[in-house]
Structures are given as C-alpha cells and as structure tokens.
Chain A
Amino acid sequence: MKEHAVVIENLSRHFGQFKAVDRVSLTVSRGETFGFLGANGAGKTTTIRMLCGLLMPTSGGGSVAGFDIATRPEEVKKHIGYMSQKFSLYPDLTGRENIHFYGAAYGLARTVIRQRLETLAERLSLHEFIDRRTASLPVGWRQRLALAVALLHEPAILFLDEPTAGVDPVFRRRFWEILYELAEAKITIFVTTHYMDEAEYCGRISIMHQGRIVELGRPFDIVRRLDAAGLEDAFISLIRSREATNA
C-alpha cells in the first residue's frame, strides 16, 4: 500500500456550464484523518463521488488506495468503505440482514461475515437493535449500522459523507471515539462535516468554496493564519470574504 491513500490532481467535474468541482488537488496520507469542509453546494459530495468511482471526472484525475479512479474504479471500490449522508440502509431489512447482504456484495463468505459481524457488534454496541428493521431505528443507531456496513470488508480507506448529520451529541461523541480507534489502526479516514468541533478532531482539513479548495492544512494553523477566534470563526469569515469578492 502506497504512502498516500488519496492523491488528486486538478480534479474537475463540470455539469454543462456549471463547475461543481474546479481543479482540486490534495493528498491524504495513510492513516490520516482528513476533514473535508465547505458550505452546502461547495462540491464536497461531488468530489467524494468521484473518489469512490461513482462519477467520472471531466478532467484531471487521481488515485485512491493506489488505483486510478478513472481507469480502475472497480479496484478502488474493493478497498474503500463508503457511508453516505442518508446512511443508505434497506429500511425493510433488519440490521443483520443489511450487513449480510452488503457482505455478500463485497464477496465475503457467510462464515466470514458472521465472524466479523460479531466483532463489529461488540465494538459498535449493535446487539440491542441488530435484529430490528432499520426503518424503525432512531438516527443514531442507523448511523452505527451504516458504519458497520462500511467497515465490514475491512477497507483501508473510509469515506464518510456527513456521517453525523441529525445525530445527537452523545452519539456523535461516541462515533468519533470509534473513528479515533480506527485511525489508530492505520485506517485512512476522509470525512465531510458541518460541525466545527468535529473538524478539530481531524489531523488536517480542507475548506471548499464553489468548487475550489481555498484553505488546506492543520486546523490550528488555519485558525492562526486567519487570525480568527476559533475554527468556526475562521470558516465563516473565509466564506464571507469569498462571497464578497465574487459579488
């Protein structure tokens, strides 16, 4: 496994005239926890979808887990785990059935799935609700199930798109504790979030605005550079000034 988990160079995606992602470049090292920030509509989700092999770039390129995202998306998919904003679990299936299904989708044998399910259930405290239909579960529990699904095939890189949206603070905290454990196990985590306190848990962050990366670095460095009171302040003033220059 290469040193860099994610490498993107001048990645762009246009929809007609609209430039959703405009020449984005960055690298994420193995084992890093990288925070991908930006206002709504800045292009974060589009970028992630390209990295996961769901969308073709218009220009530029990159590699994930050492595989080119444009030419070898199938290989990329084998090495990543993805948790979408909506948690994408089948509402009419139980947690256990969901996990078994996705395990099969990743080509795991039933016995393997069963073993890993036990481990994950322990770790993420799933036992209480794993046999209930996911439609009936509160957001926090669904979130944990979705994470279990993303981890089942033991990917090297995790892409998490707003994984804590709509989740209460207790669950959020617990979630990030789990992420820390994963990071210690050298799993690369690429996460988008709107919560500034979560951003501060990341090793490095980037801030996107209208398809471009306008800031990149450690949270502490960014705050100091922008002479802000905290990360939230830094974010807001940055976005505001950008809007002003564009107006």
Chain B
Amino acid sequence: MWRAFAGLVRKEFLQVFRDPNMLRLIFAMPLIQLILFGYVTRTEVKRIALDVYDYERSSLSREFVNAMQAGDYFVPSRIDAPLVDLEDRFKAGTSEMALIIPGDFSERIQKGAGVTLSLVADGANSNAALVGLGYAAQIVRKFSKERTALHSPIEIRSTVLYNPDAESVYFMVPGIVVILLTMITAMLTSMAIVRERERGTLEQLLVTPISRVTLLMGKIAPFAILGLAEMAFVLTVGVLWFRVPFVGSPLLLLGLAVIYLFTSLGVGLFFSTVTTTQQQAMFFAWFFSIFAILTSGFFTPIANMPQWLQTLTYLNPMRYFLNIVRSIMMKGAGASELLFDIAAQSVYAVVIFTFSAVRFTKR
C-alpha cells in the first residue's frame, strides 16, 4: 500500500513538472503576485500633491510648509497663481489638496489668537482625501504645539501598532500566501484528476488493486506538498526582500496551514467530480478562487461591505485563514487569540474534505 502511494506521488510529480501549463502556474503565479501586490497595488496614501497658497511668505509660514513635508505624506508646491485657479488644478488632476495660509499668519500667532487655515481637498479620490485630511490635521497639531505657546488642552497621543510605517505590502503578503495555497491546491488537484479521467488512465488505475483511499491520498499529497513549498517561498521572499514582519510562531502557522489545506484540497476534489475537461476544472477553480479572494477581506475590509455580503463571508473558509495568517505574522497572535477562526476553519476543513472525499471514492 505504501509502495502504491509512493508510486502515485512520484508519478504525479513527474507529470506536473513535464506539463508546461502547470509549470507556468506554479512558477509564474507566485512571482507575478509578489510583484503585483508588492509594487503595483500600493494602497497607502503618500506623496499627496499639495498646493500651498502662502499669502504671508514669512519665515514662520515657510517653516510651516516644511513641516508639512514630514513623513513623506505631502509634496507641497508653492503656487503663485491666484486662488481662482485652485479648482483648475484639481480638475486637471495636477494636485489633490490645497492649503491656504492667510496674510496675518504670524501676527495672529504672536498675538495669542488662533489661526485657522483653509484646507481644500479633491474629494474625487475619496480615500486620499480622507487620509490626507487626517495627516494634515496631525501635522498641524504637532506644529501648533511646538511653535505656538498655545495649544488645545486636550491632546491625542497616537500609537500605531504592528505596521507603523503603513506599508501596504505587509498587509498584502499574507494574502498572497493564502491565494497561492488555495489556487495551487484547488486548481492543480482538480486538473490532475480530470486529466486522468480524460486520458482514460483512470480506468487502468482502477483495475489495479490500489484502494480508492490510497488513490485519493496519492493524488492530493503532491499538491499539498507543492502548496506548502510555495507558501514557504512566498514567506521567505516576503520576509527577506519586502521586510514583512513575522512576529508569531511559524510552527503554529504551519499547523493551521495544513488544516486549511484540507479545505482547499477538498474543494479541488469536488471540482474534479463535477467537471469533464481540464479547461473546465481550471475555470471552476479560478472563479471560486477569485470570488473567495474578493470576499475574504484581502483587498478591502469585510466591515466595509454591505451587511448582507458581510454575513455571506462567514461561509468563506478563506476569510478565517487570511485573518489567521495576518494575525500571526503581523501581531504575533497565538492560538488562544485565534480560537474562533481556528474552530471555524477546522469545521470547514472536516466538512468539505469529508464530503468531497466520499464523493470521489464513490465513483
């Protein structure tokens, strides 16, 4: 029985590495995703083009403009044009925010009166506007406290934990891990099984004394191994190249990844029982993955979705695993903090895998 299992695994690996389609998927996917989510899909808001209309041009106002450059949040440009052109620059997309410093800026500060600056934001880019206003308020508050004798008696001291540099790639890499694991196992497993059926070799296999169970295990083991290998690869690149933090326990992550594997392998198994060609299997797995990713909280927080969609996401096994990976990597969360997600994940793994395995062995 072990010989048969080993033979199956060896055969599968041989076939995978001789199939150009699969090779493309295995090697190109992680690289593309890493480049894409590491470099292109930057969601952090930085280098906002800020027009400064400085009607005073004193040393203090210049200091203020310099202060606005702190943290790379803004790229201020001094504008000499009249105020009426403000909107034109917004419309052309040349600038995103405008700050107006009145002519009595220093005077008012020295007199002890307050000074209110007008800050205009281009709301078309809603996210940048929101975040930009927040940054501006922070910088102004700091300036006010340091340069004027006056400040509000109520202060806010903020600490940002886990990702103080607001690097979106730290947030993305766990997502890549989850996506890859899912796609590799679901897609490739279903394709491999369907391919056997397409070629007629499945029948030849069934004539041998290999039990259905051994066949099942022999089919999924290679892809489980591949999936974990890819995960290790992405994590290594993420940590070493992108400097993504890994605060928690790798062992815990591995254990929970194995549990998740049962879910995605189960899904792949299921697809193999309802499709007849490799193309079909690939499409099914592809659509499932895309849908799962979009509703897993990878791109946008689940809390932002409409209520009905939020409830639906509880049915998405990926959601729990994504949270687990993020929490372990970025916060160093342990099993006790992740109980709910672990429980949900385990339930899904058992249910989905058993269901698909039974379906598979029955045929």
Number of A-B residue pairs having CB atoms within 8 Å of each other in the complex: 69
**B199-A97 in contact (CB<8A):** no
A1 interface contact, C-beta 8 A: no
Please report the total number of B residues contacting A with Cβ < 8 Å: 24
B255 interface contact, C-beta 8 A: no
Contacts A93-B15, A101-B11; is A77 near B209 (CB within 8 Å)?
yes
**A90-B7 in contact (CB<8A):** no
Residues of A within 8 A of B207 (CB): 52-54, 77, 80, 82
A136 interface contact, C-beta 8 A: no
Residues of B within 8 A of A244 (CB): none
Residues of A within 8 A of B3 (CB): 104, 107-109
Residues of B within 8 A of A91 (CB): 199
A102 interface contact, C-beta 8 A: yes
Residue of A nearest to B218 (CB): A105
B115 interface contact, C-beta 8 A: no
Q: List 28 A-B contacts (CB under 8 A).
A: A54-B206, A54-B207, A74-B209, A77-B207, A77-B209, A80-B207, A82-B204, A84-B200, A86-B200, A88-B200, A88-B203, A90-B11, A90-B201, A92-B18, A92-B19, A93-B18, A100-B7, A102-B208, A104-B6, A104-B8, A105-B4, A105-B8, A105-B209, A106-B4, A106-B208, A106-B209, A107-B209, A108-B3
Return the CB mask of A222-238 against B: 1 if under 8 Å, else 0. 00000000000000000
In the docked arrangement, what's the CA distance between A66 and B327, Å? 61
Interface residues in B1-60 by Cβ distance below 8 A to A read: 1, 3-4, 6-8, 10-11, 14-15, 18-19
B239 interface contact, C-beta 8 A: no
Interface bin, chain A: 20 to 34
**B18-A105 in contact (CB<8A):** no
Residues of B within 8 A of A53 (CB): 207
The CB with the most chain A CB atoms within 10 A, among B19, B200, B208, B211, is that of B208
**A88-B201 in contact (CB<8A):** yes
In the docked arrangement, what's the CA distance between A171 and B201, Å? 23
Residue of B nearest to A75 (CB): B209
Residues of A within 8 A of B15 (CB): 90, 92-93
